[in-house]
Amino acid sequence: MGAVSQSLCSNSDMRHAVKPTLLLFISQLPLLATFAGAFSSLGFAQQSALAPRAHPAQATQSAGEAPPEFADARKLIQQGKVDEAIEQLQAVEARDPATKGLDLEMGTAYYKKSDFPKAIEYLKKATAADPANSEAIQLLGLSYYLGGHPADAIPLLEKVQGWYSRANVDAAYILGICYIQTKNYDQARHAFAKMFDVPPDSAASYLFTARMLLRQEYDPVAEEYAQKAVALDPKLPLVHFLLGELYLYKSRIPEAIAEFQKELAINPGHAATYYKLADAYSRVQKFEDAERVLQRSIWLDATSTGPYILMGKVLEKKGEFDLAVRALQRAVTMDPNNPTTHHLLGQAYRDMGKKEEAENELKLAEELQTKQDAR
């Protein structure tokens, strides 16, 4: 099938002869996705094993039996009934404001409610009463960060870089983000290196920091750190992919294409690189090249909707509407609530002269987009 696929895109004279193969390929996508899903589940198991874990002492502290006066409130929080939990705790406070541990419970409840000023108020009392209470220190630091005060969060999170279950986040990650937001990029790199167990001056540490910087939209610094990673290790997997993403985001298309091609030379089995390279090709109207690499992306990973959507868009641009509809219908099956897919499907139907189907899809796309915007 690979040889046929290549001839499909590289030899325009044979295109019409081999298009049925692509039609058959798209029709078999549900079966391919089943097999891919089985392998993907193994990947999820690996990710689960790599997820942040609480230190045994921390886990014991967080998972221990709640004091009777707080047990009901904790159950309500677990059920998502935070306001009711706060009412329970306020009743305890009214009876005895000096109840041991009450400030931490109140601070935790307000933290869960995302009322960070109130959380800070109570957690400051909890840390003053027990300066060795690591959970209270961590939650106070996180409340400062989430309340928009990263500089205040840093000294607290530096003391406790573990992970408590009631925090719902890894404090080490948040510490690194705080360093980024205060423009202390070197300290951020050290924090992320510690998170991922790599040397702080390694190419990997620069790559991880570049990824976090890009996520926080610190694009120039992200590019600088990614280039530093390349200088330290030109064959480091995913560093050229990151640079390609950055250049694609900046519409620096030739540079993006060059970086994705470098990534594939190092990492030829990375489905996402083929997908992003196809995106870059499509933006400069190299639709044959885009189709060719999209097929490879889907062969490697049939569980992501992005390549199917882009495939539909590329085929629609090429005037191959039947194939475009097949690809987009597959994307709809995988994610029926994506307005982009329905919009593209509506366009394809309109180009085919199927007015009713086009109107239905375009109307549905508009409704789904309105719902998304309302959220």
67-121 pLDDT, tens per residue?
787 999 999 999 999 999 999 999 999 999 999 999 999 999 999 999 999 999 9
For residues 161 and 134, what is the distance between their CA atoms, to the nearest angstrom?
A: 10
Q: Specify the pLDDT at position 58.
A: 41
For the chain, domain boundaries: 57-157
Which of 3.40.50.970, 1.25.40.10, 1.10.3720.10, 1.20.1540.10 would CATH assign to domain 57-157?
1.25.40.10
Q: Specify the pLDDT at position 347.
A: 95
Q: Looking at the predicted structure, is the pLDDT value of residue 50 above 50?
A: no
Q: Say which range, 65-69, 122-126, 183-187, 296-300, has the weakest mean pLDDT.
A: 65-69
For residues 143 and 178, what is the distance between their CA atoms, to the nearest angstrom?
A: 12
Buried (b) or exposed (e) across 326-363, using 16+ Cβ within 10 A? bbbbbbbebeeebbbbbbbbbbbbbeeebeebbeebbe
Long-range contacts of 48-53 (CB under 8 A, 24+ apart): 52/163, 52/170, 52/172, 52/173, 53/163
The band of 244, judged by pLDDT with boundaries at 50, 70 and 90, is very high
pTM over 0.85: no
Average pLDDT of the segment spanning 37-42: 35
- Using alpha carbons, list the distances in angstroms from residue 218 to 171, 187, 250: 21, 15, 13
Mean of pLDDT over the chain = 85
The band of 133, judged by pLDDT with boundaries at 50, 70 and 90, is very high
Residues of the chain with pLDDT > 90, as a percent, come to 75
For residues 155 and 176, what is the distance between their CA atoms, to the nearest angstrom?
A: 12
Of 170, 120, 126, the closest CA to residue 148 belongs to: 120
Q: Specify the pLDDT at position 321.
A: 95
337-354 pLDDT, tens per residue?
999 999 999 999 999 999
Residue 270 CB partners (closer than 8 Å, separation 6+): 237, 238, 241, 263, 264, 300
For residues 283 and 295, what is the distance between their CA atoms, to the nearest angstrom?
A: 17
Q: Specify the pLDDT at position 223.
A: 97
Average pLDDT of the segment spanning 261-284: 97
For residues 343 and 346, what is the distance between their CA atoms, to the nearest angstrom?
A: 5
